[in-house]
Amino acid sequence: MNFDGEKVKEEAVALLSRYIQAETTNPPGREMAGARVLQQVLEKEGLATTLLESQPERANLICTMKGRDSLSPLILLHHIDVVPAEADKWDHPPYSGAVVDGEIWGRGAQDCKSLGIIELMAFLLLKREGFQPRRDIVYMATADEETGGKWGVHWLFENHPGLMKADYVINEGGGVGMVVGQRNVYTCQTAEKGVCWLKLTFKGKPGHASVPHGDNCVVKMAKAIERIAAYRSPLRRNLTTELFIKGIAEEQPFPRSWFVRQLLNPFLSQRVEKRIPDPGFRGMAGAILRNTFVPTVVQGGQKTNVIPSECSCQVDCRILPGVTPEMVKKEVERLLFDLRSYEIEILQTSPASVSPSDNPLYGALDKVLKERDPKAKMIPTMLTGATDSRFFRDKGVVAYGFQPMMPMANLAEYLSRVHGHNERISAEDLLFGTRVLYQVVKEVCG
């Protein structure tokens, strides 16, 4: 293997810094600025690229390294757009790409321009050494992930389905290492929860607010909101979460190993969950064990002295595999059984998405991690949110969230900077990620 770590690191740092400086905040998007940076780098290496505009300035970039067999491709996917940043709250400006004490700062440093750069580095290193892949390797940078993918992966599936055929996709949303007991546990994101956004409309008797009465819709809604917020949906076991919980439990000393495993026990699950000391892990564990319901948008009356006849609240409900919108509706109806005169409307819904883990790609990720880190152990994980992987899984493509990151002591702190302030990544993590992905691609396409 011809892999000069110091040189790779230096190149990756410079590329990420430049990529962050190309501002691609969504909304409005303008991914073209970022796509041009990637395109220049690829074309300088003699690689042909395809730039597809879904809207003016909304760009998707694709570059293919041809394989010698007719196997379906491996896609190295990431999104070019980033979420807005409150510049005055950052220690280094969010579009500076500043390199400070071995870290690269800026919006997108974690989510997910760094993934775009380690995938690019792996791709370039293979090209430079004349690697002849068995299957096509496709480098794909897309628009609009942060607002749902309409002008990115979804648009590509609608307008260029031929370019989206693949066996495997590597994308954002997993791969991070955690120190658990004596092992370094890395996640491979094989599943994502689904969405079922609800609007509850409450009806009551209108009237002058100078005379209270017992059929005020605002008061009914307040009761409903309080009940929904306090509600814990029953445990719903699923394979991904079971493997995740058992994988963590195995690395704990007794009796903690027993305690963690009881998260999967329908009779003890909620009690155990409440006693998890780390609030970040508690929230995450709860959300992958059950459907969640969070009231968000509230619309009530118009005027202080008028009791309205109608008011509404929206509930962000996230659902586990196998759960349908009808099941969600029934669950809410059971919870609010005694509150009369309300209607439930489903605003938006998409099912949970899952990829199986019994295939050569999963095996390759596991193998390469163990080669790089003798203490490595990989476990599947479920994301509580959603990424572009769901569009691929919908079509039967195996998609994993896997951006390899060295084990970290404070994962919660790292995750808090995603979409937060002072987003940054270390040069060492760029190198580690590049090393692992480079080897993974060789395993899967060699």
Closer to Zn ion by Cβ: residue 139 or 342? 139
Chain centre distance of CA 316: 17
Q: How far is the CB of 391 from Zn ion (least distance, A)?
A: 14
Locate 242 and state its tokens.
């079971």
Inter-axis angle of helices 217-230 and 325-335, nearest 10: 110
Q: How far is the CB of 383 from Zn ion (least distance, A)?
A: 10
Q: To which residue do tokens 């994980």 refer? A: 381
Closer to Zn ion by Cβ: residue 111 or 167? 111
* In contact, 144 and 24? CB cutoff 8 Å: no
Residues that bind Zn ion (CB under 5 A): 111-112, 172
Instruction: Kindly give, in sequence order, each residue whose CB lies less than 8 Å from that of residue 51, ignoring residues fewer than 6 positions away.
Output: 35, 39, 59, 60, 61
Locate 279 and state its tokens.
């609030």
Q: How far is 32 from 276, CA to CA, in rounded Å?
A: 44
Locate 131 and state its tokens.
């690697």
* In contact, 248 and 184? CB cutoff 8 Å: no
* In contact, 230 and 328? CB cutoff 8 Å: no
Q: How far is the CB of 406 from Zn ion (least distance, A)?
A: 20
Q: How far is the CB of 147 from Zn ion (least distance, A)?
A: 11
Q: How far is the CB of 201 from Zn ion (least distance, A)?
A: 33
Q: How far is the CB of 388 from Zn ion (least distance, A)?
A: 8
Q: Is 431 exposed, middle or buried (0-12, 13-18, 19+ CB in 10 A)?
A: buried
Q: How far is 406 from 400, CA to CA, in rounded Å?
A: 18
Closer to Zn ion by Cβ: residue 110 or 269? 110
C-alpha atoms less than 13 angstroms from C-alpha of 26 in its C-beta half-sphere: 28
DSSP 8-class letter at 181:
T
Closer to Zn ion by Cβ: residue 172 or 423? 172
Q: How far is the CB of 113 from Zn ion (least distance, A)?
A: 9
